Chain A
Amino acid sequence: MYDGRKIIPGLILFLGLVTYPVWHNLASGKSNYVPKPKLPTDKKECIEPKEAIRINHKTLLEDWRNSVVRNAGKTYVAYNKKKYTMSLNRTCMNCHKDKAEFCDQCHNYAGVTNKCWDCHIYPKQLEEKQS
């Protein structure tokens, strides 16, 4: 190989630079970071099991939205036959009071943005605004 002495160290250097974010995060322990959404302390039960909510909360909220706005349906029957009002503010945010401590924890981690709060107001936000 011509210029092997230059090419091989160059390649190693290149690979090192390219993979820098990976091993930097490994070394600093950032790759082990797990988002920790703060759960309400006074309430024990969510409308659906934790696993189902984790995966499906987005479609659930979208179904609720369509149901309430377009079909005038307002009652949600959960897996255990309990009934809930389909409302982001009055049902979800009634327990998960602070968006920053709950929603944002995972959304920021996963780089997800949503437009819910452009219009809807969570209780805590109002407190901040009026105080």
Chain B
Amino acid sequence: MDIDRRGLLKVAGLTLLGLSVKPGWQVFSKDEPAEPSPDAETLARKRWGMGIYVRKCWKEEGCRDCIDACHRIHNVPDMGTLKEEIKWIWKAPYENVFPEHEFEVTQEDYQQKPVMLLCNQCDNPPCVKFCPTRATWRREDGIVMMDFHRCIGCRYCMAGCPYGSRSFNWRDPRPFIKKVNLDFPTRTRGVVEKCNFCVERLAQGLIPACVEACKEKALVFGDLKDPKSEIREVLKFKTLYQRMPELGTKPKIYYIL
């Protein structure tokens, strides 16, 4: 068969066009795009925060419901010693939590009364600035997240956190967990951990475990950006205390006395 230049070009062009039919079809026939992950914008519509009624917490002495609930579902080990202690939510004496408050005449009323402490989920978290591997970062909805896969255990974040919210796994924590929760990973030796505001429960539409566990309803959780949310109602017209607000970290745990 004799083929001239023009004919060859025609055939070649048609062949190329034919070859592009299938990929083209695939591109344009995409009926259902993959479910978008909640992107930055969607997340940023919310800002999670917590209010703590300090006095309600004093009603039952020695109550540890919130601590136990949190530590159980997050596989937080009980290391036994204070030096190696790992804590996501814990309590400390009032005078240590708010040393700037006046105690000269009220000492007896407040001394040694427990106050619940947890990660303050700061708007301006120093731990995030210090992390050299970006293993910890602030999510758009305000939760200071922790990627255990990425943590190298340098503990700069622990040095940076003014609230002492972070704990380091000096040893393999597995043997120190009484009952392992399968739905949440344990940690390994050499990583830092802290409260994650129950991000895995929020994703399922549940409230944090500590809030759920509290019988006295001393903990209130909600979206600070929603003017109708429970937390906003609670925070309205109340005297609120934050821990060390003067540092400019903008903590989102509010204490109501």
Residue numbers of A with Cβ under 8 A of B are: 65, 67, 69-75, 77, 81, 83, 89-90, 115, 118-121, 123, 126, 129-130
Contact = CB atoms under 8 A, between A and B. Distances in A.
Interface residues of B, number: 24
Given A72-B38, A73-B37, A119 B188 contact: yes
Closest 10 interchain pairs by CB? A73-B37, A118-B188, A119-B185, A77-B34, A75-B35, A71-B37, A120-B185, A72-B38, A69-B147, A119-B188
Most buried by B among A65, A69, A119, A130: A119
A69 B37 contact: no
A67 B39 CA distance: 11
Given A65-B149, A72-B43, 17 more contacts: A69-B149, A70-B137, A70-B145, A72-B37, A72-B38, A73-B36, A74-B37, A74-B203, A77-B32, A77-B34, A89-B182, A89-B183, A115-B188, A120-B185, A123-B182, A126-B182, A129-B180
| Chain B interface helix/strand/loop/mixed | loop
A115 B188 CA distance: 10
Contacts of B185: 119-121
Contacts of A129: 180
A84 to B, nearest CB: 11
Interface string B162-200: 000000000000000001101101111000000000010
Interface in B12-39: 32, 34-39
Contacts of A83: 35
Contact of B203 (A72, A81, A120, A130): A72
B139 interface: yes
Given A70-B147, A74-B203, A129-B180, A121 B37 contact: no
Contacts of A126: 180, 182
20 contacts: A65-B149, A69-B145, A70-B137, A71-B37, A71-B38, A71-B39, A72-B38, A72-B199, A73-B35, A73-B36, A73-B37, A81-B32, A83-B35, A89-B183, A119-B148, A119-B185, A119-B187, A123-B182, A126-B182, A130-B179
Contacts of A73: 35-38
A124 to B, nearest CB: 11
B75 to A, nearest CB: 8
Nearest to A73: B37
A130 B183 CA distance: 16
Given A72-B38, A74-B203, A121 B187 contact: no
